[in-house]
Structure 1
Amino acid sequence: MTTTGLGSVPGDDIREWMRAVLELVDIPFLPELPARPYGDMLSRTVAVLTELAADLQPAGWRLTGGGDARASLDQRRARAQLQEDLDVLEEYAYEYEGPLKIQVTGPWTLAASMERPRGDKVLADHGARRDLAQALADGVQQHVAEVRKRVPGAELVLQIDEPGLPAVLAGAVPTASGWSKHRSVDGPGAVELLSMFTTAAPTIVHCCAARPPIEVFTKSGAAGVAIDVSLLNNAAWDQIAIAAEAGTTLYAGLVSTTGPLPEPDHAAAPLVRRWRELGLDPELMKQIVITPACGLAAAPSPGDARARLELLRRIVDVVGEAADA
């Protein structure tokens, strides 16, 4: 049983956080620091895009056309910052051997967040969202290759962040006017784009929404799913059970991102209780990765976020004892 974080952390010191994640969790990750300009998950993902140019508007990122030559100043700055972060990763982790995780925004959340050149979301245009997904998939392949070159001993894990996918599937993403919603996407369509990303490296899909579409994630080829345990309803737990018995790794979010730090046994209790209620093999609990409920950018301070990551290993001990009981 292991631990990791889900990407975002507070503060603006990438060096401090790179040292911290190599020390505090079993699966270190490339930290995202949204407090910095171009440090949020969307900007980092725009930095990875190939063949598509984008600029940053007051409403967010907007596609402006194809070709790197037309990349905006904002996109070039996002790319420069990502390269600087990779330099820090290489400096601190070059001799590291073991699992190492990187994160990118998934194609559906990106399409629901970015605008087309003439307005409204990329999600509205079937061809545009496929082009965006393909450009992202190509960029992710290059990103994975670069990280492997910089950290040769790493066993790379790719995290795809899809917080917006439940709304996409439900037809709940508002149009630009706000008067209507974008047409829903069906499950097979969602699987089709996600499956572009599950061959670059062992992939987990992260969705800390109340109804994560677990079946979509597993059908796309994801090796793991990352969820907020506190939000799961009965239907979601049933899907988790099916996935776990099929060999999918559960990244169980058990530590809230804000508020008082829980005691380890209290934090572990919802997972252990549900596991037993579902009649799942206790041995399968030993394959679980314990994480915070979501990214830690909202934590009140870097020290608080560190404490939440430190708590994860104590929760592992409690869950491990339950698995052996």
Structure 2
Amino acid sequence: MSVFAAATALGSWPGSAPREAAEIVVGELHRLPHLVELPARGVGADMIGRAGALLVDIAIDTVPRGYRIAARPGSVTRRAKSLLDEDIDAIEEAWEKAGGPGSGRPVKVQAPGPITLAAQLELSNGHRALTDAGAVRDLTSSLAEGVSRHRAELARRLATTVVVQYDEPVLSAALGGRLAGVSTLNTVHPVDEAVAIGLLDECVAAAGAEVLLHSCADVPWNVLQRSIINAISVDASTLGEADYDGLGEFLDSGRTVVFGLVSTSAPAARPSAEEIAAAAVAITDRIGFSRKSVRGRVGISPACGLAGATAAWARVALELCQRAGDAVADDPEAI
């Protein structure tokens, strides 16, 4: 059974109070809690800003459009590291209170994937780092080493297994050549599929643990199928006809899929955990897998964007995910 065949969340959380957030996530997610990300805190707390605390020997700074690779560490890198330290302290405290050390429960950490990171960081000339093959290689190596160190530190402090999620929201756009350059005359050329697989595999191999890749929509199944990634997370509402063959092949190869099935805003009618579990197995039914065959290889999470939810709904969303995830993991044939 994959560690990702469980109820979890994607990382981001509303508000700016790490200790409160950590207590809720550790308390509600019994099988796979995660280190929270609180982007509402601003610079250094969002997905790319967090990378400033993880990269080894590469610093970042802010520019009007986001972040840029910097010549040396400054206030932005220091702030990112300080916020990450605060988040680690918060989960360590919540974990100890919940009896986590020695429990065998794994914990998940998140980081931007190498392609999204290179697409969202600027070079000194204002172009995306993704346009420079040397910069991409350096960023990928730095990220892989930084995430490996981060995961190992958290595993030591929590005395448990720590697994990794890489976020790749712009992976498909990068592969398809749909990323805008600094002007209409400076387009970003498509990333070669073999290059993308190599970058992803480098980060997976260095992690030292099972790895989940999160792609919000438009999943490049053919690329992920050829990578060594253990699991994929996708917003179920974005799955179209073109996705089902790729999804089926991915599951058929013995890997795991986490379906984002719980809304990130309170719906008019609150769904039951049973309805969410039924929606998960309906997807695998549709692609022709018996429920017995996917037991231990399907997880459930909220959809993308939980940081924009109300605090009350975010907690409810985790509760629904956990109850639905238990039903799918324990006996999907009974749903």
The verdict on a shared fold, with TM-score over 0.5 as the criterion, is yes
Deviations 1:25-72 (CA, angstroms, capped at 9, x unpaired) = 12010000111122211111121001112111121110123xxxx201
In the other structure, the counterpart of 2:26 is 22
Residue-by-residue CA offset, 1:118-172 (whole Å, 9 max, x unaligned): 21100111111111111111111111121112111x2111000000101001100
- 1:246 equivalenced with 2:256 (yes/no): no
Q: Distance in 2 between matches of 1:206 and 1:161?
A: 5
C-alpha separation between the residues in 1 aligned to 2:239 and 2:185? 30
For residue 84 of structure 1, what is the aligned residue in structure 2? 86
Structure 2: distance between partners of 1:143 and 1:318 = 32
Query: The residue matched to 1:120 in structure 2 has which SS?
Result: coil
1:181-260 paired onto structure 2 within 5 Å: 181-199=187-205, 200=207, 201-209=209-217, 211-260=218-267
User: Which of 321, 324, 327 does residue 312 from structure 1 map onto?
Assistant: 321
Q: Which amino acid aligns with 2:286?
A: E
1:1-325 alignment, distance < 5 Å: 2-25=6-29, 26-37=31-42, 38-65=44-71, 70-94=72-96, 96=100, 97=103, 98-152=105-159, 154-178=160-184, 181-199=187-205, 200=207, 201-209=209-217, 211-260=218-267, 261-287=270-296, 288-299=298-309, 301-316=310-325, 319=328, 322-324=332-334
Which ranges in structure 2 are unaligned for 5 or more consecutive residues? none
Q: Which amino acid aligns with 2:314?
A: A
How far is the alpha carbon of 1:81 from its aligned partner? Answer: 1.2
SS in 1 for 2:261: strand
Whether contact under 8 Å (2:175, 2:193) holds in the other structure is yes
- Contact 1:229–1:270 under 8 Å retained in 2: no
Runs of 4+ in 1 over 6 A off after TM superposition: none
Q: Measure the CA separation in 1 of the matches of 2:196 and 2:253.
A: 21
CA displacement, residues 175-226 of structure 1 (integer Å, 9 cap, x when unaligned): 01245531001221110000111121110000111x1113323432111110
Relative to 1, partners in 2 of residues 1:298 and 1:179: Cα closer, same or farther, differing over 3 Å?
A: farther
CA distance in 1, matches of 2:186, 2:292: 47
- One-letter amino acid matched to 2:60: A
Moved more, 7-16 or 52-61: 52-61
Q: Deviations over 1:82-135 (max 9, x none)?
A: 112112222222451311000000010011101001211001111111111111
Q: Would the alpha carbon gap of residues 284 and 256 (structure 1) be closer, same or farther in structure 2, given more than 3 Å must change? A: farther
Report the more deviating stretch, 241-250 or 164-173. 241-250
Q: What TM-score do the two structures reach when normalised by structure 2?
A: 0.89
One-letter amino acid of the structure 2 residue matched with residue 196 of structure 1: E
Sequence identity of aligned pairs in percent?
Answer: 37
Unaligned runs of 5+ in 1: none
Work out the CA distance in 1 between the residues paired with 2:163 and 2:254: 16
| Structure 1: distance between partners of 2:182 and 2:293 | 45
Q: How many residues align?
A: 318
TM norm structure 1: 0.92
CA distance in structure 2 between the partners assigned to 1:121 and 1:256 by the alignment: 32
Contact 1:218 1:248 in 2 (8 A): no
Other structure's SS at 1:297 match: helix
| Deviation larger for 88-97 or 226-235 | 88-97
